[in-house]
């Protein structure tokens, strides 16, 4: 019996196993990144690093001795379900933003579009954004509550505990990246609350602060200015809309790929339970 236990223990992949070492490398890269970035390109890079990370996790779950995690899989399944839910919210928000931006671009390109039609469409966009932000804020609040209620696994064997800890860390960093994306889409920084009058009276100060605004905020601020009638139609609004569309599309694609990885991981975890 002791010999059997010894063989199983030695066969279970440690944190020095090639697969788990690769997981550690991706985790270190992500943990060293900025989770409060105002750049969609930075978050997009994080998402694509997550894809590589979850590919490694799936390889690990395919190992024959991964069934030793069976007693602790329930918590991991719950985590994977929460990740899929929050990914779905983020994807819906990006899709809605992209479609709304495309509609606005069409209006701006039509030379015969009058001010009333333009203002009406801009108001629709801003109303949609407001509802979108409210949904995301609720999701972020629920996410915070779920994370605080999450219980820690208590596996018997040391190696199993180490592996569960690694998978929990993967789950946590995935949450952080998606949470960062949701903040990027929805949470206004102080600079986005600048009044139109402030923009007119302190252009240099505002120009400096706007460099720290996200693409989402910049478009919101410009469109709000158009609706207010206190500023003329921005000359660069079309380029900003195009940039926002492309960034939203790239982030949406990354999330779609991540969702597939999460589903694959969930299937692997279910297989561990059923085998």
pLDDT in tens, the chain (275 residues): 333 333 333 344 555 567 888 999 999 999 888 777 778 889 999 999 999 999 999 888 887 566 667 767 878 888 889 899 999 999 999 999 999 999 888 888 775 556 777 888 888 899 989 998 888 888 888 777 766 665 555 555 556 777 788 888 999 999 999 999 998 998 665 443 433 334 444 444 444 444 568 889 889 988 888 887 655 555 678 889 999 999 999 999 999 999 999 999 999 888 888 87
Rounded to whole angstroms, the Cα distance separating 256 from 45 reads 14
**Domain interval for residue 119:** 2-274
Distance in angstroms (rounded) separating the CA atoms of residues 161 and 167: 10
Mind listing the pLDDT tens digit for each residue in 232-244? 555 678 889 999 9
d(CA 213, CA 117): 28
pLDDT of residue 258: 96
pLDDT at 205: 44
* pLDDT of amino acid 67: 66
The predicted model scores a pTM of 0.79
Q: What is the DSSP letter of 234?
A: P
At 53 the pLDDT is: 95
3-state class (DSSP) for residue 214: coil
* 8-62 pLDDT per residue, tens: 333 445 555 678 889 999 999 998 887 777 788 899 999 999 999 999 998 888 8
CB-based burial label for 154 (10 Å; 0-12, 13-18, 19+): exposed
44 burial class (0-12, 13-18, 19+ CB within 10 angstroms)?
middle
**How many folded domains does the chain comprise?**
1
pLDDT, residue 203, reads 45
From CA 238, how far away is CA 194, in angstroms rounded?
21
């Amino acid at each position: 019996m002791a010999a059997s236990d010894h063989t199983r223990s030695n066969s279970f992949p440690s944190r020095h196993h090639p697969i788990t070492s690769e997981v550690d490398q991706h985790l270190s890269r992500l943990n060293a990144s900025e989770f409060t970035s105002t750049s969609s390109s930075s978050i997009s890079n994080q998402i694509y690093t997550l894809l590589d990370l979850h590919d490694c996790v799936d390889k690990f779950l395919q190992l024959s001795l991964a069934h030793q995690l069976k007693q602790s899989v329930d918590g991991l399944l719950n985590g994977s379900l929460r990740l899929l839910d929050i990914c779905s919210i983020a994807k819906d928000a990006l899709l809605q933003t992209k479609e709304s931006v495309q509609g606005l671009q069409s209006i701006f390109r039509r030379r015969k579009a009058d001010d009333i039609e333009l203002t009406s469409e801009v108001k629709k966009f801003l109303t949609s954004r407001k509802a979108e932000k409210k949904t995301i804020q609720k999701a972020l609040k629920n996410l915070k509550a779920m994370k605080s209620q999450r219980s820690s696994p208590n596996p018997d064997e040391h190696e199993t505990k180490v592996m569960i800890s690694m998978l929990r860390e993967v789950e946590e960093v995935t949450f952080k990246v998606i949470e960062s994306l949701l903040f990027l889409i929805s949470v206004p920084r102080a600079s986005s609350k600048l009044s139109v009058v402030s923009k007119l009276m302190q252009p240099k100060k505002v120009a400096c602060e706007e460099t720290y605004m996200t693409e989402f905020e910049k478009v919101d601020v410009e469109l709000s200015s158009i609706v207010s009638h206190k500023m003329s139609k921005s000359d660069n609004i079309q380029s900003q809309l195009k940039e926002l569309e492309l960034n939203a599309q790239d982030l949406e694609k990354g999330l779609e790929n991540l969702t597939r990885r999460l589903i694959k991981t969930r299937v692997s975890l279910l297989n561990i339970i059923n085998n």
